[in-house]
Structure 1
Amino acid sequence: MNTQKSKNLIVALLQETDRGSVAANLAAIEIGLREAAAAGAQLVLLQELHNGPYFCQHESVAEFDRAETIPGPSSEYIGGLAAELKLVIVASIFERRAAGLYHNTALVFDRSAAIAGKYRKMHIPDDPGFMEKFYFTPGDLGFEPIQTSVGKLGVLVCWDQWYPEGARLMALAGAELLLYPTAIGWDPADDDAEKARQRDAWITVQRGHAVANGLPLLACNRTGFEAAPDSGRGIQFWGSSFVAGPQGEFLAEASRDQRELLITTIDMERCENVRRIWPFLRDRRIDAYADILKRFRD
């Protein structure tokens, strides 16, 4: 008989489109944060690079003008809202660390204007429409959860979500939630069957991380069509932000094409119960995994 008490955490994901300027995007974020706080949310996850468009569709040195120092104007603005509204907020900033040195960085605020912690995106894609290696230096902070008043947050960013190693290392360091700010979508030239396969794969791989680690998972994606700055075809971001429980079960899922504040409740005690019946961490054969450090087993 299960005698453990429920420990409920109300979370919110703010799925948005680019509003055309930093000021407009931050204003929309403020509205969403206030609505989340009014609904009782304790933790809010924002999408990747929420201050502007997904500029990585092309390579242009002019785009580096979008980057900010940390602390900087956006972190101070969002931190002020975290303090006022008593929210834990996971934000996403194009970080200017130094001249010629930039990162795709997630920031965590713990009901305070001060930055509780940050994570620099580790896996950097270089694919058609996603030319991030031109802009972002791979992260150097490792896979370290960030302690907050609602638990230890395993924050990763977008392309990281395809790699089981990142989720596992966060779990092994004591993360209690996995969170992924995201910007992913379709090439408009793809047919409907290919679009369905891509979206399903994105959802499935992350649900797998939840299952394999016995942890709830939050993924917040942007939505809407964003034209390419050059002659490219643009990207139709597919939204579909979701929250999964520790067995990969859907707790909430947003639409594919609408701005949406997705709110749900996570029973954090279920993780303990699930890990007792599916003790994956106990049964790992760490003595046999040395080859995982190789690029490929020739």
Structure 2
Amino acid sequence: MAGKKTKEQVTVALIQMSAAADPEANLAKAVARIGAAAGKGAEIVCLQELFRSRYFPQSEDAKNFRLAETIPGPTTEALSRLARRKRVVIVASVFEKRSAGIYHNTAAVIDADGSIAGKYRKMHIPDDPCYYEKFYFTPGDLGFPCFKTRYAKIGVLVCWDQWFPEAARLAALAGAEILFYPTAIGWLPTEPKAVARAQQAAWELIQRGHAVANGVYVAAANRVGREGKLKFWGNSFVAGPFGEIIARAGSESEAILTARCDLKKVDETRQNWPFLRDRRIDAYGALTARFLDPSTRAPVLPGALARGRPERGGVESRDDKGPVTKSARLSSLESYSEKN
């Protein structure tokens, strides 16, 4: 870790670029763009998803496993040297080879001293036309951590994670002030233009909603250009804690998008809109169910909500004083019955 005290003002940069067939050329381009971003004052730089290659999950081809590498490995070592030289934090999405037969879509967070602050393994893995990621990636197992870097406390989520508010919420609850989303998303040129525009609008809207719901900054770095069947729509953006767009790139061109984030606004926004304060954490246990079928829905025990702890039949819970045992819940239920 490069330093324990984060800043109140931080400049972030998103690298939006097209990808060539040669991974080394893509890495060299990324290094040059990060250097240029640092020259513009950027302190945290985020690359797009799987930046070192073209978006290979458009097809299921075992040859693509050759693109994978370890962390630490060639890509993170090159970026670590750059981070140390330029004194920038780098968020880099890498095709990680964890072990024989186990691969992840991983974002490495490299601190400003060149050390690896940690990594996030993509949790939500899509399997849609031209996004056949389940063939390549094992779902992540590191949760939704917060990385305390030299300049800010950040959370990192990857592409498909964008559509899941639970992921953004958990990263924010872990302490993140800025959520970064390395992304590779686009449309099929054969799709009706109205459908394509609606998809892009929804993509931006839900992430701006994460910013509002959690009182954080959100920064999404997308790729751009035509690759195979997909046309990536770019439009990388940074949104503030009220969901307002601070900066946005175009849909056709490469860009180094920079934005200034005032981290004091995270606290100010949460004071004005105290969503985290008013969460009913005692009432959300059912969110861990796949679906709330009437036949499998667990009842809330009487008095549980009033006491502010998530008591549910047959499930251990915990309050601020420690575990709530099954016997304690039964005692509470008996006491409730006697009084009523």
Residue aligning to 2:338: none
Superposed counterparts of 1:116-155, under 5 Å: 116-155=117-156
Q: Give me the whole-angstrom Cα distance separating, in 1, the residues matched to 2:261 and 2:71.
A: 31
* 1:282 equivalenced with 2:277 (yes/no): yes
State which drifts further: 86-95 or 17-26.
17-26
For 1:46, the equivalent position in structure 2 comes to: 47
- Correspondence for 1:271 among 255, 266, 270: 266
Q: Report the CA distance between 1:20 and its aligned residue.
A: 2.3
> Secondary structure at 1:288's aligned position in 2?
coil
CA offset at residue 150 of structure 1?
A: 1.2
- What amino acid maps onto 2:257 in structure 1? L
Deviations 1:60-113 (A, max 9, x none): 111100000111111101111001110001001000011110000000111123
- 1:30 CA displacement: 1.3
> Cα deviations across residues 144-178 of structure 1 (Å, max 9, x unaligned)?
11110112111010000100000000111111111
CA distance in 1, matches of 2:114, 2:172: 27
Equivalent position amino acid for 2:220 in 1: A
Which whole-Å CA distance do the structure 2 matches of 1:114 and 1:267 have between them?
25
Per the alignment, residue 32 of structure 1 pairs with 33
| Separation in structure 2 between the aligned mates of residue 19 and residue 64 of structure 1, nearest angstrom | 17
C-alpha displacement of 1:33: 1.0
The reply to whether residue 261 of structure 1 matches residue 270 of structure 2 is no
Is 1:202 aligned to 2:197, yes or no?
no
In 1, the alpha carbon distance for the partners of 2:114 and 2:37 equals 18
Counterpart code for 2:79: I
1:117 partner letter: G
How many Å apart are 1:27 and its aligned residue?
Answer: 1.1
Higher relative contact order (CA 8 A, sep 6+): 1
Paired with 1:252 and 1:126, the residues of 2 have a C-alpha distance of 31
TM-score, length basis structure 1: 0.95
What is the match of residue 231 of structure 1? none
Q: CA deviation at 1:267?
A: 1.1
User: 2:250 corresponds to which letter in structure 1?
Assistant: S
Q: Which amino acid aligns with 1:268?
A: L
Contact residue 10 and residue 152 of structure 2 kept, 8 A: no
Deviation at 1:22, TM superposition (A): 1.2
Task: Indicate which of 283, 286, 290 corresponds to 1:295.
Answer: 290
Structure 2 CA distance for aligned equivalents of residues 14 and 212 of structure 1: 26
Q: Which amino acid aligns with 2:260?
A: T
Q: Offset of 1:46 from its aligned partner?
A: 0.4
Q: What SS is found at the alignment partner of 2:225?
A: strand
- 2:91 aligns with 90
**Tell me, what secondary structure is at the counterpart of 2:190?**
coil
Corresponding letter in the other structure for 1:178: L
- Give the equivalent residue in structure 1 for 2:187: 186
Rounded to whole Å, the distance in 1 between the matches of 2:119 and 2:202 is 28
Q: CA deviation at 1:268?
A: 1.1
Residues 152 and 177 of structure 2 are in contact (CA less than 8 Å); yes or no, is this contact kept in structure 1? yes
Following the alignment from structure 2 to structure 1, what is the Cα–Cα distance between the partners of residues 53 and 99?
21
Distance 1:47 1:172 in 2: 24
Distance in structure 2 (CA, Å) of the matches to 1:294 and 1:264: 39
- CA distance in structure 2 between the partners assigned to 1:64 and 1:32 by the alignment: 26
Offset at residue 114 of structure 1 (A)? 2.0
Structure showing greater radius of gyration is 2
The one-letter code of the counterpart of 2:93 is S
In 1, the alpha carbon distance for the partners of 2:163 and 2:147 equals 21
> Could you tell me how far apart the structure 2 residues matched to 1:251 and 1:36 are?
17
Give the deviation of 1:23 after TM superposition.
1.2
Q: How many residue pairs get matched? A: 287
Task: Report the Cα distance in structure 2 between the residues aligned to 1:82 and 1:19, rounded to whole angstroms.
Answer: 23
Distance 1:26 1:265 in 2: 26
Cα displacement (A) at 1:17: 0.4
Whole-Å separation in 2 of the counterparts to 1:179 and 1:149: 16
Counterpart CA distance in 2 for 1:59 and 1:112 is 38
1:249 matched to 2:244: yes
What code does the residue aligned with 2:271 have?
A: R
- Which ranges in structure 1 are unaligned for 5 or more consecutive residues? 1-5, 228-233
**Contact 2:47–2:91, Cα closer than 8 Å, also in 1:** yes
Structure 2 unaligned spans of 5+: 1-6, 294-340
Q: Secondary structure at the match of 1:281?
A: coil
